[in-house]
Amino acid sequence: MTIHDRVTRTSSAVVGSTDDIVRRAGAVPPLDGFPTLDDLWRHFARLERENPGLVSSRRVATSRLGEPIHAYSIGSGSRDHLIVGGVHPNEPIGSWTAIHLAETLCADGDLRTALDATWHIVPSIDPDGGRLNEGWFADPGDRGHYARRFYRPAPDEQVEWTFPTSYKDAYFDRVMPETLGLMRLIDELRPDLYVSLHNGEMGGVYYYLSRPVPELTEVLHAVPASFGLPLDTGEPESPFLERYAPAVFGTGTIADAYDYLESLGVDPALEIAGSSSSEYASRHGTLGVVAELPYWKHPDADDGSPTDESYADLLRRTGGEMTATGEALVDLLARAEPLLTFESPFLRASRAFVPMLVRMGAVDRARAASPESARPATVAERFSCEDLVHCFRLRYGGMLLRAVEAEAVAGTATAPLRRLVDETAVLYAAWQAEAAAADRAEVIPISSLVGVQYGAVLAAAAHLAAGDTAGNATGPAPR
């Protein structure tokens, strides 16, 4: 039985059909910037006030800095769908998606009936981290402005990656309060659908599914196409991931990641800590969905034509650049550490990510030795690998600069530390100039990004309404 047989009709469109989802995705209104955390809380508090009996809320966690975290429930359908924002606090497209989804569900009784679900929305599971990104929320189109004010928690401080792990020598149980609250909510709801609201940065659109769902491919491709957005068919975030369709991947598991790294001769214990929210939800047969969206689209993101460079040479070249980037930052961090007097989130994140860049380069060089790499690289792969170097220079160089600047702002920086701040700023400016010189990207309207993410949520919910109850093991999206 298809979606068309099971869902209701509104006007001439079948609710949940590809045409209907494309139409609904295209109806997201123009949006300007991203809401701050206080704005996000106000949006949902207003929805609850204005929709008594339809919307209810409850506290499900407390942030490490003491902020209450609430879940909002809408409707009373037979399935439970859980939508969670802020799992990575530098990825705020989901804030608007959560708001638009909630407002639409409140206003559209036909949609609620057709999808037959009780919706549970956590607008942000990491408000502490979200607030450290608010400096770029008002102007997200400028990549330099964005990266200079960027914050991503260290992996063991990310809600997405602090679920319990036990596989071979990988063991993790340092569960944060926010993660514990989400664990309890997942175990209570045993959701049919779990969507963690992520987004990428540059390139094209791609998706993760916790199990193969071929019926979703058409709509997952159609929605970004309706906005003129390319699929990202270049280098996947993690090479071991199964490709279900162009730009649609399996989420993989911690075991997959561990075994892959072990096969390359890399110590997995250095790279693997906690598991993901999707892998945790898989114990309940939950369908996990992630829509990864860029702020900037690039014409090379879906160009599968071959280049005159082998894939092996590409990996060696960009892997070497990544290692050199990491080594430069490792040196700056090592010289800064004795001069720093307090530990900021930026410093903790730098300690985790800076040496990671060195190891990432080593992994790529190990991959280059594989016989499978002796083929021409595609244009999309070349773009993905080259831009990842720019991305990580801007992200993690910017965070290290924030870490050392914090002392100067606080008035505790010594003269040697102030000189080191200046040295870091000069290197970072050079990296910004290199990234800008290579930039042929176009800023994507936020409403289009929200439309794609919203469309993916509706497509998965409509698929479940059509009768798919299959369950399968799932796992994490890459860090």
Alpha-carbon span 301 to 231, nearest angstrom = 7
Judge whether 303 and 380 are in contact, CB under 8 Å.
yes
Positive/negative CA dihedral, 161, 165, 168, 170 = positive
Candidates 16, 13, 12, 21; CA nearest to 2 is: 16
Over residues 133-155, the pLDDT tens digits come to 999 999 999 999 999 999 999 99
pLDDT for the residue numbered 13: 60
Specify the DSSP element, H or E, that contains 38: helix 37-50
Q: For tokens 């906005």, what's the residue?
A: 227
Whether the predicted pLDDT of 471 surpasses 70: no
The upper half-sphere exposure of residue 21, i.e. CA atoms within 13 Å in the direction of its Cβ, equals 30
Please give the single-letter amino acid code of residue 426.
V
Class of domain 306-440: mainly alpha
Candidates 41, 37, 36; CA nearest to 59 is: 41
Q: For tokens 């450290």, what's the residue?
A: 132
pLDDT for the residue numbered 365: 94
pLDDT band at 234 (very low <50, low <70, confident <90, very high): confident
Whether the predicted pLDDT of 419 surpasses 80: yes
Positive/negative CA dihedral, 447, 206, 71, 139 = negative
pLDDT band at 435 (very low <50, low <70, confident <90, very high): very high
Judge whether 193 and 118 are in contact, CB under 8 Å.
no
Alpha-carbon span 444 to 200, nearest angstrom = 12
- From its phi and psi, is residue 400 left (phi > 0), alpha (psi between -120 and 50) or beta? alpha
pLDDT for the residue numbered 468: 67
Domain ranges across the chain? 3-298+443-465, 306-440
pLDDT band at 470 (very low <50, low <70, confident <90, very high): low
Judge whether 254 and 165 are in contact, CB under 8 Å.
yes
pLDDT for the residue numbered 9: 43
Specify the DSSP element, H or E, that contains 187: helix 177-189
Q: At what angle do helices 311-336 and 415-437 cross, to 10 degrees?
A: 160
Whether the predicted pLDDT of 465 surpasses 70: yes
Whether the predicted pLDDT of 269 surpasses 90: no
Alpha helices in 264-344, H assignment, sequence order: 277-281, 311-336
Question: Span 46-55, mean pLDDT?
Answer: 98
Over residues 237-264, the pLDDT tens digits come to 888 999 999 999 999 999 999 999 999 8
pLDDT for the residue numbered 473: 38
pLDDT band at 379 (very low <50, low <70, confident <90, very high): very high
Whether the predicted pLDDT of 87 surpasses 80: yes
pLDDT band at 222 (very low <50, low <70, confident <90, very high): very high
pLDDT for the residue numbered 228: 97
pLDDT for the residue numbered 211: 97
pLDDT for the residue numbered 266: 85
pTM to 2 decimal places: 0.92
pLDDT band at 270 (very low <50, low <70, confident <90, very high): confident
pLDDT for the residue numbered 271: 81
Over residues 271-322, the pLDDT tens digits come to 888 999 999 999 999 999 999 999 999 999 999 999 999 999 999 999 999 9
Over residues 90-106, the pLDDT tens digits come to 999 999 999 999 999 99
For residue 149, the SS3 value is coil
CATH architecture of 3-298+443-465: 3-Layer(aba) Sandwich (3.40)
Question: Span 107-123, mean pLDDT?
Answer: 97
Q: Are strands 117-122 and 79-84 parallel, antiparallel or unpaired?
A: parallel
- Tell me which of 84-88, 168-172, 231-235 is least confident: 231-235
pLDDT for the residue numbered 120: 98
Whether the predicted pLDDT of 230 surpasses 50: yes
Specify the DSSP element, H or E, that contains 415: helix 415-437
Percent of the chain with pLDDT over 70: 95
Question: Span 383-390, mean pLDDT?
Answer: 96
pLDDT for the residue numbered 53: 96
Question: Span 193-215, mean pLDDT?
Answer: 96
pLDDT mean across residues, the chain = 93
